[in-house]
Structure 1
Amino acid sequence: MRLVLFCHSLRSDWNHGNAHFLRGICTELLARGHELRVYEPADAWSVSNLVSEHGEQPLADFAAAYPRLRSTLYRLDAGQPGNAPVLDLHQALDGADLVLVHEWNDHELVRRIGDHRRDHPGLRVLFHDTHHRSSTEPASMAAYDLRHYDGVLAFGGVIRDLYQRHGWARQAWTWHEAADTRVFGPRPGEPREGDLVWIGNWGDEERTAELHEFLLEPVHALGLSARVHGVRYPEHARRSLRAAGITYAGWLPNYEAPRVFARHAVTVHVPRRPYVQALPGIPTIRMFEALACGIPLVSAPWNDAEGLFEPGADYLVARNGAQMQRHLRELLNEPGMARELAAHGRRTILARHSCAHRVDELMAIHAAIAPAAPRTPPLRREPSETPTP
């Protein structure tokens, strides 16, 4: 099959968690022998911020870590600055069977792809939504022109239902994120560097109180050796980390997370408030990745409304800061319990939540909406070939 992906960026995961899942999906598609073309804007803000902070080396490191993943950079129109070619959409989509358009794309590009789909009935186009904006910023999502799209891939049932309820798309499917198990797995033999690690961004003050209750305060109370990786930590956040005795280690290339997990005994999951309050059933991809790496995990409360995991067996749930302290103490002091929890969580990922599972789901969705194969007319028999009664 020939597939085309339009995304914000594969090259950079700086404050761009969508790159994690898309890298895994692209890798799986290529491994299965599909033809894949990826397009990303030359002025992607994630890349710009990454290069501004760390230079060009992370882009070279990404290319070395994912040698088969390459993107075509483009400008949407000639008025945009830069040297990248202006996107020739007809050329980009020529011969494609399926196009995936991630939601972090310009509204104008989304419309143009839809118009192309209208004029090419053999093409199938799906919009991919992996953010809470459909709930928290509905006007922004309603502005996407999806009239000619075949449907929406939503990373949770509540997002799928919003598209259907508002009539934003003709149909929608739930397509959860997942772990790229080619990259995310245990790394035995790594030296121990600390008790706890958390990999996540501070963000837009969407979970400040939760981070204090479920991360900073328990670490400080237990006197743990802890490290935090992530971006967009304002000075007040860094002061709070220092006061709790936590080392702030900055941005971490996502493909390096397995090594960092392997060097710590436990991790935590602290979901953002919009996901807890408005989007039940949707964990962040970092939870899938941590469980895939076989590290014991304790989560702040969230409603696993879609039954993705088995709370208490795949991970422990802390209803408040006191429970978080208790769970962390137990896991650090009872290695057998920690190993059992980690092994159960990893088995669940391997059984249901790998990028290979999601590609299977994508192929099934495409099969359901694919153009009908042309009917071959029956052969016309010559008179001499007419069977004798």
Structure 2
Amino acid sequence: MRAVAFCHSLLSDWNHGNAHFLRGVLSELVHRGWEVRSYEPRDAWSLANLLAEAGEAPLALFRAAYPELDGVARRYDLAALDLDEALDGADLVLVHEWNEPELVRRVGAHRLRGGRYALLFHDTHHRAVSDPGAMSRFDLSGYDGVLAFGEVIRELYLARGWARRAFTWHEAADVRRFRPLAAGAPAGHLVFVGNWGDEERTAELSEFLLEPARALGLRGRVHGVRYPPQGLRAVAEAGLAYRGWLPNVRAPAAFAAHRVTVHVPRRPYVEALPGIPTIRPFEALACGIPLVSAPWRDAEGLFREGDYLVARDGGEMRARLRDVLSDEALAASLAARGLATVRARHTCAHRVDELLAIHAALSAPAPPAAPPAREEAGDGGRSAG
């Protein structure tokens, strides 16, 4: 069986969280015996920024961490992309929403011309709510369905007529890479892994991360990109060390070196997209670190009470962090429960199970048409049955 994925980048996770889940899913497919290919634009901005900031070393790190995906990623120029070649022998094709509308349209047209594969559009962003005009540019008429990373997104695709079918398919942790590591010398109390947020959580980072760290006198690290000068000053004034971009495969080691982490959802997920935690909580809990989150509504019941703590405001965040750092039993309980929930329900293996069930349903032959009604002798002209 062959799977083909079109994404912004598999090679780079610089400001590109979608790479985390896609790597995990494609890795899981390979481990199940699938042949996998991925295609990404040659001028992908994430890879260009990664190479400008860190050179080729992160690519070597990616190959070492994902040996099963070495050689899978193929870079293309859209004008020269040969879809007959790219899709030859494909059984399942995933097209991520962070692609050019022209690429999305061309793949759909290829499917309509007789492509013998299941074709799914994969949406892992809030643009369906925050920028519906951009999403309406995608021509999905040739697609068999949409994979939406939350129920609210799935419902939007159907309500707005963007797709005929849509399936809820949450992100999850790649537990081959994201797992508890033995703690070495502690690097600090708190670690935060996340980008500045393009003004979608500036106030929230101050309230739920920086001010509580300053008030409690915590030592720790902040990892991420696109922190403006005022953001860097705020991190320093909070007493935390800014350490820049963190290759995602090194996040487990960062978690292991600290005692607690914080999740600060972007505003669109809090206000308009209940039920979508994004991938960071899955990955943190998979590493067995206690998590304290700013408010978000678990509308789909992904987690259990006690998997992590929620702080409704900055004052509660200070109290929750103080509790975790001062109560070893509480910290151990949070770490164990969160890890157990992820391993039981939210791994890339679980998501591949779901994906293959969708694929099987789409690939199954259509049910035979009901036989035409017959008139039986003596039934007064009523149809049989």
Give the TM-score category using the shorter length: over 0.9
Secondary structure (helix, strand or coil) at the match of 1:13 reads coil
List runs of 5+ in structure 1 lacking aligned partners.
78-85, 376-389
Aligned to 2:374: none
Partner deviation per Cα, 1:258-282 (whole Å, 9 max, x = no partner): 0000000000110000000010000
Does residue 227 (structure 1) correspond to residue 237 (structure 2)? The answer is no
Partner deviation per Cα, 1:179-199 (whole Å, 9 max, x = no partner): 000000100142211000000
Secondary structure (helix, strand or coil) at the match of 2:5 reads strand
Structure 2 matches for 1:119-138, cutoff 5 A? Answer: 119-120=113-114, 122-138=116-132
Aligned to 1:82: none
Distance 1:343 1:328 in 2: 17
Distance 2:4 2:277 in 1: 27
Q: Equivalent of 1:218, from 193, 196, 212? A: 212
Shift of 1:61: 1.7
Aligned to 2:87: 93
Aligned to 1:10: 10
Distance 1:274 1:373 in 2: 39
Distance 1:298 1:26 in 2: 30
| CA shift in 2, pair 1:120/1:292, >3 Å | same
Shift of 1:2: 1.3
CA contact (8 A) 1:122 1:371 kept: no
Code of the residue aligned with 1:156 in structure 2: it is: G
CA contact (8 A) 1:267 1:297 kept: yes
Does residue 67 (structure 1) correspond to residue 67 (structure 2)? The answer is yes
Code of the residue aligned with 1:296 in structure 2: it is: P
CA contact (8 A) 1:97 1:122 kept: yes
Distance 2:89 2:22 in 1: 22
Code of the residue aligned with 1:214 in structure 2: it is: F
Secondary structure (helix, strand or coil) at the match of 2:78 reads coil
Shift of 1:43: 0.8
Q: Equivalent of 1:164, from 134, 158, 169? A: 158
Partner deviation per Cα, 1:110-149 (whole Å, 9 max, x = no partner): 1010011001153210000000001110011011000010
Does residue 368 (structure 1) correspond to residue 325 (structure 2)? The answer is no
Code of the residue aligned with 2:359 in structure 1: it is: H
Partner deviation per Cα, 1:64-104 (whole Å, 9 max, x = no partner): 22122120111001xxxxxxxx3110011111111000001
**What do you get for the CA RMSD once the two structures are aligned?**
1.3
Code of the residue aligned with 2:7 in structure 1: it is: C
Secondary structure (helix, strand or coil) at the match of 1:68 reads helix
Does residue 115 (structure 1) correspond to residue 109 (structure 2)? The answer is yes
Distance 1:329 1:308 in 2: 26
Structure 2 matches for 1:218-367, cutoff 5 A? Answer: 218-311=212-305, 313-367=306-360
Shift of 1:374: 12
Q: Equivalent of 1:178, from 166, 172, 182? A: 172
Structure 1, 15-24 or 119-128: larger mean CA deviation: 119-128
Secondary structure (helix, strand or coil) at the match of 1:122 reads coil
Shift of 1:37: 1.1
Q: Equivalent of 2:137, from 124, 128, 143? A: 143
Secondary structure (helix, strand or coil) at the match of 1:216 reads helix
Percent of residue pairs bearing the same amino acid type: 65
Code of the residue aligned with 1:201 in structure 2: it is: N
Distance 2:53 2:262 in 1: 27
Secondary structure (helix, strand or coil) at the match of 2:68 reads coil
Partner deviation per Cα, 1:135-177 (whole Å, 9 max, x = no partner): 1100110110000100000000000000000010110000000
Q: Which runs of 4+ in 1 moved over 6 A?
A: none
Aligned to 1:380: none
Code of the residue aligned with 2:78 in structure 1: it is: L
Scaled by the length of structure 1, what TM-score is found? 0.92
Structure 1, 277-286 or 56-65: larger mean CA deviation: 56-65
Distance 2:201 2:124 in 1: 18
Partner deviation per Cα, 1:9-50 (whole Å, 9 max, x = no partner): 011000000000000001100000011111111111000011
Distance 2:278 2:142 in 1: 30
Secondary structure (helix, strand or coil) at the match of 1:228 reads strand
Distance 1:226 1:37 in 2: 39
Distance 1:248 1:136 in 2: 29
Shift of 1:55: 1.3
Partner deviation per Cα, 1:310-341 (whole Å, 9 max, x = no partner): 24x10001011111111111111111110011
Distance 2:183 2:351 in 1: 30
Number of positions where the alignment pairs a residue of Structure 1 with one of Structure 2: 366
